[in-house]
Amino acid sequence: MNIAIIQSRMASTRLPGKALMLLDSNPLIYHVIQRGRKIKGIDKVILATSVNVENDELAVYAKSLGIEVFRGDEKNVLERFYFIAKNHSANNVIRLTGDNPLVDFKAFSYLLDQHVKSKSDYTCSKGFPVGSVGDLFSFNAIETSYRNADGKDLEDHVDLYVMENQEKFKIFCYELNIDYSAVRMTIDDLVDYERIKKLINLIENVEGNVLEDLC
């Protein structure tokens, strides 16, 4: 089974509550979920958030869209990923974040296909706009990281143990011929939010609902 896990919570330091802030007529997290669903080869999309009460509304909203929700420790993101992957007997995991409403599902579909064919433990990408594509893990990479990671940084960052111990894993990284990494498609703060909001509204007003063709 291949699953996509969206890590999201309401207690963002720079932009609290952004997961439910509106972009066009729908919350940010709606766009992440809908685009995640379009990744070819994915069997299920799951929201991973924390047990903290401020995430109750986020969990209720995700469930209203038919998305399974897992709630765990506020700080230990890696633990959330491990238990979700284990509970679903997942072979591979795509990591999505609630910051990225313009996920390039076509690129993710290609990366997942390559990840599976190459039997990689970890697949990353280089040169894509920030927030358009993320990384992929085998269950082995998730489990090994969970059982061996030590310290707050390793718990908060799902990929950190792999990157610090690359000799233990089979890693595949796809790099674009042209570097677009200076382009920001993510929402970290209010400036990002206003920019992406204007972009989405412009696309909606000019050509209708064509967000699926943006990336």
- pLDDT tens-digit map of 131-181: 999 999 999 999 999 999 988 878 889 999 999 999 999 999 999 999 999
pLDDT at res. 199 = 85
Whether pLDDT at 212 is above 70: no
pLDDT of residue 205: 57
- Stretch 17-29: mean pLDDT: 94
Please report, rounded to a whole number, the percentage of residues in the chain having pLDDT higher than 70. Answer: 94
Locate 193 and state its tokens.
């939010």
Share of residues in the chain with pLDDT > 90 (%)? 84
For 117, the token pair is 């064919």
pLDDT tier for residue 203 given thresholds of 50, 70 and 90: low
0.85 cut: is pTM over it?
Answer: yes
Confidence of residue 207 (pLDDT cuts 50, 70, 90): very low
**Cα-based angle 19, 179, 119 (whole degrees, multiple of 5):** 75
pLDDT of residue 153: 79
d(CA 55, CA 48): 10
For helices 77-87 and 139-148, give the axis angle rounded to 10 degrees. Answer: 140
User: Which SS3 state, helix, strand or coil, does residue 145 take?
Assistant: helix
